[in-house]
Amino acid sequence: MKTKFRPPSSQARTSDDVTFVFAPVHSTTAFEETLERLGTAIKLGLLPPGTRLPPERDLCEQLGIARSTLRQALTALVQSGHLHAVRGRGGGTFVSEKPLAVASPEELVDWRERCDVRFSVECGIAFLAAERAEASAIALLSDLVDEMAACSNDFAGYRRADVRFHVGLAEATGSTALVAAATEAQGAMTDLISYIAHPPEVLAWSNAQHARLLDCLQKREAALAMRIMADHLRGTEHVLAGLLP
């Protein structure tokens, strides 16, 4: 029977402090919540520099997630500088001495408020777009999903198409006020999103949600579109919470 991972007493204040880090994840945003949980534990010093994470199989069992989900989260944390991998005997995944430099706390003081505004605006937009979108608008959004699929290794290109997709959803509602609100919300998020790592696996997962939204528009499933958008946006918030200082 496997036991819960406990860092040595010299690396953490008490074993109880890190129990929550490796508790099961139960969410439709499992990847993002895993990333947030590990990133937050690192920031708070619950997983101090030099801490070696448990083997992937043990982590997956303790967190209750698929290995592919765990690897996506670990990849993002390595790219952000929170973790580093060591090969060979004595290797593994370790907490880094210092994450990569990002914006100062002063620049990020209102990041949650920006996320709240975007959530409020875009969930409503998803609902109305699913009720109102015409075939021509759906076709344009479909092209953007295809464009993002081709940008798995080009975040700048992906982000441009991503913004156009979200603003395009607002345009599909027929409301100029919502187009303006969506454009403003996207603008407020752009600098925040630029501070976090975006491995191809993360972009593919995000775009799969775009495709699901598109399917809702085609089938006029407004309530489902709103729920998918909520998951999509909450996922971004989990990533930001885990990686921002």
pLDDT, tens digit, 9 for 90 and up, residues 221-245: 999 999 999 999 998 898 888 877 7
Residue 123: closest CA among 238, 62, 213: 213
- Prediction pTM value: 0.76
Ramachandran category for residue 205: left, alpha or beta (phi over 0 → left; psi -120 to 50 → alpha): alpha
pLDDT-derived band of residue 35, with 50, 70 and 90 as boundaries? confident
Confidence band for 201, pLDDT divided at 50, 70 and 90? confident
Spatial distance between the Cα atoms of 57 and 6, rounded to a whole number of angstroms: 16
Per the prediction, the chain carries an average pLDDT of 85
What is the pairing mode between strands 92-95 and 83-86?
Answer: antiparallel
- 135 in the Ramachandran plot: left (φ > 0), alpha (ψ -120 to 50) or beta? alpha
Across the range 99-118, mean pLDDT stands at 79
Asked if 92 and 86 count as a contact pair (C-beta separation under 8 A), the reply is: yes
Domains along the chain with CATH numbers? 15-95 (1.10.10.10), 105-243 (1.20.120.530)
Convert the pLDDT of each residue in 46-86 to its tens digit. 888 999 998 889 989 888 889 988 888 888 888 878 899 88
83 — phi, psi (to 5°)? Answer: -125, 160
**Pair 47, 95: CB distance under 8 Å:** yes
pLDDT interval class at 40 (50, 70, 90): confident
Residue 53 contacts residue 83 (beta carbons within 8 Å): yes
Cβ neighbours of residue 27 under 8 Å, at least 6 residues apart? 33
Instruction: Return the bridge partners of 184, or none.
Output: none
What are residue 92's DSSP bridge partners?
A: 86
For residue 45, the tally of other CB atoms under 10 A from its CB is 13
Residue 90's SS3 state is: coil
